[in-house]
Structure 1
Amino acid sequence: MDALFPALAAGPDDDPRPALRFGERALSYGQLRAAAAALTPRLAGARRVAVWATPTLETAVAVVAALHAGVPAVPLNPRTGPRELTHIVTDSAPDAVLAAPGDELPAPLAHLPRVDVRPEADGNAGRGAPAAGPPVPAHAEPPPVGGAAAEPDPSAPALVVYTSGTTGPPKGAVLPRRALAATLDAVADAWTWTSEDVLVHALPLFHVHGLVLGVLGPLRRGGCLRHLGGFSAEGVARELASGGTMLFGVPTMYHRLAEVLGTDQELRKALTGARLLVSGSAPLPLPDHERITAATGRRVVERYGMTETLMLTSVRAGAEPERPGSVGLPLPGVELRLVLDDGTPVTARDGETIGEVQVRGPNLFTAYLNRPDATAAAFDGDWFRTGDMAVRDPDGSVRLVGRRATDLIKSGGYKIGAGEIENVLLDHPGVREAAVTGEPDADLGERVVAWIVPSDPAAPPTDRELADHVAAQLAPHKRPRVVRTLDALPRNDMGKVMKRALRG
């Protein structure tokens, strides 16, 4: 843990510097150090541990302790449906699940040993306090790194984060410790992020934006995180007005802030006083950029990354992007190229020639867990194929123009695979055929659209029925927002659905 979090490496147990605050609950650096140290012995020897990733202190302490123990953590979305959760747990095979004492865990986790995380109790006990509860049963195979006795190798896995593909169930991207360090140092350089910064956000903690950037980022810098628990304009205004210096969000959040800026003077004043506003996970629409800048004088900085690569590019703090939609220059250590369909690298920086973004560098994942076929297919030599299409401007900055595939939807900051939604829709007795696409949405970036051929044309299932069906099996953010009924899906000669025809 020392190499990842120098601020936690040494210091008095009563170190009062604020580290984490979730609502009214907080831990200083001394308390966080003690809480992680108390939990670490229970994890030593585990191959992997799952973390029930609620937006709470418990999640942050659990992940820090796992990193301290050299045990990869698998963050779980608490809103994931039983089918998807069963797949993730079966695929990742964690030796235990870490959760807050009062959390009710669903059936797919029932067979796992449970470790209750009590941050305040362990944090107040001081260094060397006995671990509460029995240790996690050691796996029959030796763990990749052992306990906290020695600093794990930078190539050792730190996190396994599940990400939706275009078809089939989610894949677990194995992120090594070096990727976390490389990305966090690179964005710190781009954003002049220091120990004096106080980060405000309300992002979920089961993906890399909220967890890696939003929790581990402040801890690596020696700064402070204030997590809102749930997003609200009032919460953003309150925390920025009381010492917050940076705000992280996704376009949906900034859209909602932009909608009320005209009438909310406290919010407008708070955003104006912030040092840095960062948006990611999907492009921020131009109208929201313009409304926020007009009201506050602040330009929202956009960055670009994905689960497998962490952060790739960013507009630098204080720099004006050359044109709307720029996600800035490649970050330090990131090599980025654009490639044509035939594999020819794009050399032009004319803002017009489109190519697929391919990258390499220390920030990349090492593999998809248990999927050597998918891992091999994701790379062109040692270049990772992102599937994103972009142009480069004369100064080298990157402007994204869309996805290579039509089956990946970015909605409300989430990356959603159409295939898994289609599979669930086809399980509904009222659906004979199904296809899923995305279409532009002012609030979400893209909304999920289901195209169905009903089993009984005279009595098709309702929009609400299908939305609830998907939300119950996968996660609420994957439910279709629009359902369109057809007599037949357009298909080519090979029987493949032509989604471009559906999109019009």
Structure 2
Amino acid sequence: MPLLSWLSESADDRPDAVRVDDRAVSWVELRRLATAVADDLGGVDRVAVEATPTLETVVGVVGALLAGAAVVPVPPDAGPMEREHILRDSGATALLAPAGGTGPAGDGGPPVIPVDLARRSDTVHPEPDPAATALILYTSGTTGAPKGAVIGRRAVAACLDGLADAWAWTPEDLLVHGLPLFHVHGLVLGVLGPLRLGSRLHHVGRPRPERYAAAGGTVYFGVPTVWSRIAADPDSARALRPARLLVSGSAALPAAVFADLAALTGHEVVERYGMTETLITVSARADGPRRPGTVGVPLPGVRTRLVDEHGAALPADGEAMGELQVAGPTLFEGYLGRPDADAATRAPDGWFRTGDVATIGPDGWHRIVGRAATDLIKSGGYRIGAGEVEDALLAHPGVREAAVVGTPHPDLGQQVTAYVVGDGVDGPELIDFVARQLSAHKRPREVRLVEALPRNALGKVQKTRLAAD
């Protein structure tokens, strides 16, 4: 089956199959636009794409995939050093950009090939080898320049087919979101998903509550920041009641936001888990329960396990916290040109080490505690999950946001330190509040009140920046 099977085979010429902001095209027109790009890419092995939230980006990505090239999305907000690194490290030999828009890639950069929405083609390109690379997505770690995660066409297909099964995702759906088009969430799920599975797509541009409300979709994707803003806008939230599914990912959804959305929209949000290197591996199902603070069960073909710091297996009893490891058809091929990084992320038997701490219940439900480096706090001989303390803080009516990290302590090794955005609260009050809800050793030893938490483009709190303070 072709990777973009619906797009490749559809004869539907209704004009609103794919809409980005205020421009829309039919399936047939999108295929002809993308084929014109594919015609220009003959022989190009890797192509960078200016990943702005535009129809040109969708056409460029699809054209490159039709041509069998590996797509290297370039974030529109990348600074000069990051941009130069992505273009150089990826080995991209061409850069797709809107016609008449972005100028040259820079000194020594690849030549620019314009994506011209006035051009169409009916060339029939052979379907690329399923074993070929689909995407090279750059992902940042705690040190060094971003690494290029090489993602195969088979992995993308397996991920999307697994989500179709979990979410009952069909051509009857209209998917609505406003996510960036250079990450797994917005690009793989939010663009390639509809092109494989046949649902229509409406990318609303900036993901404002009123734009989600006006879109009339059946399935909505968002990150916690988006859902929090929608929950704070009751009229927009109520407008989502006719939808079929609300999906949240890329970071943990606060339990309070889950509850507020359930009350306003009538929907309990589906949460799911994945990484650039694994795509989506675990999710709640459309036909099953949704539990705040958990991310569901493995997708078809995906296997998960927990291990301790020595690699020994831990029980799936809902209590044991350990590193989550993953195996299955959605895994990436490795980091481009970085065998050292590959080796560091693979267990001896080939399972991928996510670096995330989780628990798995007897029923297979997963709860992500957080990153091993920042969210598993070892204090006075205890192992404390930062997420549990954050949830306790967020239950206080005066707390709007909370992030918990471990900071050095001369006696305990690490102490629980909380960063809080709140109204009319103080540290001692919050420490006492948590101590009344959780075990005494889990209470924060220090609360630092801040104006805002540092977040990345997907709304994830950048805890390494807090811990470095």
For residues 26 and 293 of structure 2, what CA distance do their matches in structure 1 show?
A: 38
Q: CA deviation at 1:153?
A: 2.3
**In the alignment, which of 224, 248, 256 is matched to residue 200 of structure 2?**
224
Local SS of the residue matching 2:113: strand
- Structure 1 residue matching 2:159: 3-state secondary structure: helix
2:278 maps to 309
Match of 2:249 in 1: 280
Give the equivalent residue in structure 2 for 1:44.
42
Matched, 1:345 2:313: yes
| TM-superposed deviation, 1:180 | 0.5
**8 Å contact 1:89–1:109 — kept in the other structure?**
no
**Superposed CA RMSD:** 3.2
Query: Equivalent of 1:259, from 215, 220, 232?
Result: 232
Match of 1:401 in 2: 369
Helix, strand or coil: the match of 2:359?
Answer: strand
Question: Which amino acid counterpart does residue 172 of structure 1 have in structure 2?
Answer: G
1:245 aligns with 2:218: yes
Q: Which runs of 4+ in 1 moved over 6 A?
A: 407-410, 474-484
Matching residue of 1:369: 336
User: Which residues of 2 match residues 106-117 of structure 1 at below 5 A?
Assistant: 108=106, 111-117=109-115
Measured in 1, the distance between the counterparts of 2:329 and 2:462 equals: 37
Corresponding pairs, count: 404
Q: Does 1:83 align with 2:59?
A: no
Distance 1:402 1:33 in 2: 41
Residue 16 of structure 1: how far off its partner (Å): 2.5
Note if 1:181 corresponds to 2:166.
Answer: no
Partner Cα separation in structure 2 for residue 295 and residue 91 of structure 1 = 47
Q: Which amino acid aligns with 2:157?
A: A
Counterpart residue number, 1:5: 4
More moved, 162-171 vs 98-107: 98-107
Tell me if the contact between 1:358 and 1:383 (Cα under 8 Å) persists in the aligned partners.
yes
Once the two structures are TM-superposed, the CA of residue 481 in structure 1 deviates from its matched residue by: 11
Q: Is the 8 A contact 2:180 2:187 kept in 1?
A: yes
Q: Which letter does structure 2 place at the counterpart of 1:345?
A: A
The Cα shift of 1:400 comes to 0.6
CA shift digits 1:367-407 (9 cap, x unpaired)? 10010110111100310000000001121110011111129
* Alpha carbons 2:87, 2:109 under 8 Å: kept: no
* 1:343-388 CA-partner distances (Å, limit 9, x unpaired): 1112x23211011110111101001001011011110031000000
The separation in 2 between residues aligned to 1:354 and 1:34, in whole angstroms, is 51
Shift of 1:438: 10
> Does the 8 A contact of 2:68 with 2:128 survive in 1?
yes
Q: CA deviation at 1:239?
A: 0.2
| SS, match of residue 399 in structure 1 | strand
In structure 1, the partner of 2:140 is: 164
Which residue type is aligned with residue 344 of structure 1? A
8 Å Cα contact 1:79/1:475 also seen in 2: no
Deviations 1:230-280 (A, max 9, x none): 11111000002xxx101000001001111122xx2xx23322111000000
Flag the structure with more relative contact order, 1 or 2, with Cα contacts below 8 A and sequence separation at least 6: 1
Q: TM-score, normalised by structure 2?
A: 0.79
Distance 1:19 1:400, change over 3 A: same
Q: Which residue of 2 aligns with 1:71?
A: 69
TM-score with structure 1 setting the length: 0.74
- Aligned-pair identity in percent equals 51
- The equivalent residue for 2:32 is 34
3-state SS, counterpart of residue 379 of structure 1: coil
Q: Distance in 2 between matches of 1:26 and 1:343?
A: 51
How has the CA–CA distance of structure 1 residues 191 and 441 changed in structure 2, closer, same or farther, with 3 Å as cutoff? farther
